[in-house]
Amino acid sequence: MGKKYKILIISDTEILGRYPMDKLKKMFSDIDFIISAGDLGNDYLDYLFTTLNKDIIYVNGNHVHKKGHDISFCKNIDGKIIRYKGLKIFGLGGSKKYSYQENQYSEFEMTQRIILNLGYLFWGRKLDIMVTHTPPRRINDREDFTHQGFEVFHKILKYFKPKLWIHGHIHLVSHMDTQETTIGDTRIINAYGYKVIEYMKN
């Protein structure tokens, strides 16, 4: 029998910062952990961690706000594969290189980041969750260069088939909107704002 996880996913807009601690505790009392897909302030992640007392797994967006604020107690998986609560999770932050600032990558550079993790991808259990800031190209992305996804991410979809892919970067009209696509066995979800999702580990 599989194990079910309830996950709070967040990115790009700090909407939950408007809620008092008591309300947040009631809203998310039953989540197992939090995934951030980037472009959120370190102070915001600290607030959610402190209020909800749940682990935060995160990647960086193309913007890192309040980066001087210490969040070493959160789990930065940008460019790493971790095993957490029986799950294999891979994180790749950043966006397409459009202004040569930090956390921006060319297709070649992002490919190199994946190659560095190939041993861990092939070894052991299958990939459960992929966390990126930018989506795969032509999946939930946009046509302006800044908001285009990475072509190389399709290699991860093809060869490693994560069951769940969480991304940010693409702003929606409202944080309540849902943008979700299924490719093969992979459920790809835009975490803009916040959403609570369930993941079943078989």
> Each residue of 46-63: pLDDT tens digit?
999 999 999 999 999 998
pTM of the model as a whole: 0.95
Inter-residue contact 126 to 160 (CB < 8 Å):
yes
Please compute the mean of the pLDDT values over residues 90-117 and round it to a whole number. Answer: 94
CA-closest candidate to residue 12, choices 63, 75, 70, 53 = 63
Token representation of residue 155: 């290699």
Nearest in space to 99 (alpha carbons), one of 145, 132, 141, 131? 145
d(CA 5, CA 188): 16
Residues 105-118: what's their mean pLDDT? 96
Residues 6+ positions from 72 with CB-CB distance below 8 Å: none
- End-to-end CA gap in the chain: 7
- Using the CB atoms, write b or e for 12-28: b if 16+ within 10 Å: bbbebeeeeeeebeeeb
Query: pLDDT digit string (tens) for 62-101?
Result: 988 788 899 999 999 999 999 999 999 999 999 999 888 8
Taking residue 97's Cβ as centre, other Cβ atoms within 10 Å add up to: 18
Chain segment 17-44, per-residue pLDDT in tens = 999 999 999 999 999 999 999 999 999 9
